[in-house]
Amino acid sequence: MTVRPCSACRDGKPLDFEFSYAYQPILDVGKQDVYAHEALVRGAAGESAFSVLSKVNEDNRYQFDQACRVKAIKTAASIGLPSKLSINFMPNAIYKPELCIRTTLEAARQFNFPIDRIIFETVEGEQVNDGKWLAQVLSEYQRIGFKTAIDDFGAGYAGLNLLADFHPDIIKLDMGLVRNIHESKARRAIVRGIADIAAELDIALVAEGVEVVDEYKCLRDLGINLMQGYLFSKPLFESCAQRNGVQWPVA
């Protein structure tokens, strides 16, 4: 794993591109309420995430990761985000967790956003081969007072071995397990098993990528109350969803 020295943030060149955020709600379907919003990177005028992420490389990865945290918090504060805020982070861009978190803490104080409403979520597609390193990073964030989430649970590196080393506050099921779950006995059995493990360890379980009513109904029947997906709301550029603006499926 390539890491950047501590001076990367202080002495590194500023990013030569701009970006902003869209916010997609994570919903408590049992209470019909907004549990959190995930901050999703976008271009400065709402362009796709790819238009931004394609500009990230080994030379600017650290600066980008730090800038993302500040921008996500600043924008969330400016739109009056009422819920928890989930920020994706790049574990491979971290040198020392206790040092690399300083910029985030300063942003939370500057924009008056409570740290106990911030969730650090492992970024989608960011493969971490060293599970113990990721557990160390997440443990430090949890110790400071942030919530922690493991994304894409069930997709290789985000699996049971990682869970054995660290108990996050939240697990987000990989979309591959959610897709057409109502038509797959195997997917239902796997998700039911993960739900039992999460309940035993007092970990909240989120089903992401919910797109059709049948998936929603199946997940609900499996006892999963936290869901995220286009069925309820698309990401909103520099805006957040209110409870009465969510498309709640008819029971």
pLDDT of 5 > 50? The answer is no
Q: Residue 39 carries which side chain, given as an amino acid letter?
A: A
* Nearest Cα to Cα of residue 127 among 162, 103, 97, 98: 162
The helix (run of H) or strand (run of E) holding residue 177 is: helix 175-178
- Look at residue 20 in the predicted model and tell me its pLDDT: 97
pLDDT tens by residue, 239-249: 999 999 999 99
- Cα-based angle 141, 27, 35 (whole degrees, multiple of 5): 45
**Average pLDDT, integer, range 53-78:** 93
Q: Measured between alpha carbons, how far is 72 from 238 in angstroms, rounded to an integer? A: 10
pTM of the complete model:
0.90
Question: 158 pLDDT band (50/70/90 cuts)?
Answer: low
Between CA 139 and CA 81 the distance in angstroms is 26
- The per-residue pLDDT for range 81-104, each reduced to its tens digit, is 999 999 998 776 666 777 778 999
Alpha helices in 79-149 (DSSP H): 97-100, 102-110, 131-144
**Structural domains of the chain sorted by starting position, each given as residue range(s) with its CATH number in brackets:** 7-243 (3.20.20.450)
CA separation for the pair 126, 51 (Å, rounded):
17
φ/ψ region of 147 (left if φ > 0, alpha if ψ in -120 to 50, else beta) reads beta
Distance (Å, whole) CA 102 – CA 243: 33
Residue 238 CB: number of other CB atoms within 10 A? 14
Q: What does the pLDDT look like over 103-139, one tens digit per residue?
A: 999 999 999 999 999 999 986 455 555 567 778 888 9
List, for residues 170-221, the tens digit of each pLDDT value.
999 989 999 999 999 999 999 999 999 999 999 999 999 999 999 999 999 9
Distance CA 25, CA 246 (A): 9
